[in-house]
Amino acid sequence: MARTKGSVGATTQKAILDAAKTLIVKHGFEAMTLRQLAAEVGVQPASIYRYIESKDTLLAALMTEHMDTLIHAWEALEDKGETPDEQLEAFVAFHIRYHVERREDVFIANMELRSLGEAARADVVAKRRAYELNLWRILEEGVKTGDFPETDLEVATYAILAMLTGVCFWYRPEGRLTVEQIIEIHQGLVMRGVVSGDFQAV
């Protein structure tokens, strides 16, 4: 008898995670059912519990994996630059590339944080803060060295991240600009904003 795509443990585990991302993006976490997920993967509804404890733990696993992978990818990046200017440009390029390549993960991380249980949400938020701190420190160092003017670091950090993350929601591979062109434009926007002090709090 031929095996279905849900009949091999490791393959099924990955298939469940991949299918869950697609269904959550399409229907929303609250509307998605485990019965839908089982049908998408090709297993019996009862069998889904061999791979996940619950719908809530599935969402937590997806979002935790996203943040852990994001943090590790930044830490593993070899060329982060030497000066604050170079480091800021490197961060902009990294953030955009990572996010346009993982649009489902980013959508879920931004739209479904509210659906997490209290403990899982606190864990994901802590990981998000840890990642954001990388940008904060680049800006802080630039202010200390005089490369960047005095600014509200919190406002600047969140303003930059919101702009960069937003790319994955409107970017289309078939669009008129390549990812590299979009990165270059955003590097210019961010650098001009930081250097001019436009990220000051009102």
- 22-34 pLDDT per residue, tens: 999 999 999 999 9
pLDDT tens digits, one per residue of 82-108: 999 999 999 999 999 999 999 999 999
Domain 1-52: give its CATH superfamily. Answer: Homeodomain-like (1.10.10.60)
Q: What is the mean pLDDT of the chain?
A: 89
| Residue 100 neighbours by CB under 8 Å, 6+ apart | 167, 168, 171, 179
pLDDT tens digits, one per residue of 116-164: 999 999 999 999 999 999 999 999 999 999 999 998 999 999 999 999 9
C-alpha span between 137 and 85 (Å, rounded): 12
Task: Write down the pTM of the prediction.
Answer: 0.86
Whether the per-residue pLDDT at 81 is higher than 70: the answer is yes
Domain boundary assignment for the chain: 1-52, 54-196
Residue 198: predicted pLDDT: 59
Residue 3 DSSP label: P
Same fold: 1-52 with 54-196: no
Instruction: For domain 54-196, give the fold.
Output: Tetracycline Repressor; domain 2 (1.10.357)
